Amino acid sequence: MIARRWHGRIRTADAEAYLALMRDVGLADYRSTEGNLSAWCLHRANGPVTDVEMLTLWRDWEAIERFAGRPIDRAKYYDFDPDYLLELEPLVTHFEVIDAEDA
């Protein structure tokens, strides 16, 4: 299993609208990709800026490629992202996961 983590920053004033889009568009896109095991949108307000993290779990590297294309460590952005994000970070981070069944 592989975890994929993407990070973005938005203005806290825009958080409600952006998080609704991530729920309705982003999470739906992740979850509809064959090989996606789960997806969460994490967010934390820090004054005028809110950090957003998408944390997803994938069956294998091929599933991530179906979602993100190549190279798989390149961030995938939606049409609405430039309207909200303070910067478009170019890369995501992947982690191999050990779960309870592996212990």
Domains of the chain, by residue range, sit at 2-98
Question: Is 97 in contact with 57 (CB distance < 8 Å)?
Answer: yes
What's the pLDDT score for residue 97? 94
The residues, ordered by sequence, that sit 6+ positions from 49 with a Cβ below 8 Å of its Cβ are 9, 10, 11, 12, 86
Query: For residue 60, how many C-alpha atoms fall within 13 Å in the half-sphere facing its CB?
Result: 2
Confidence of residue 101 (pLDDT cuts 50, 70, 90): confident
What's the pLDDT score for residue 103? 57
**Which CATH code is given to the segment(s) 2-98?**
3.30.70.100
The predicted model scores a pTM of 0.90
Sign of CA dihedral 68, 72, 40, 90: negative
pLDDT digits (tens, 9 = 90+) for 56-90: 999 999 999 999 999 999 999 999 999 999 999 99
Three-class SS of residue 34? coil
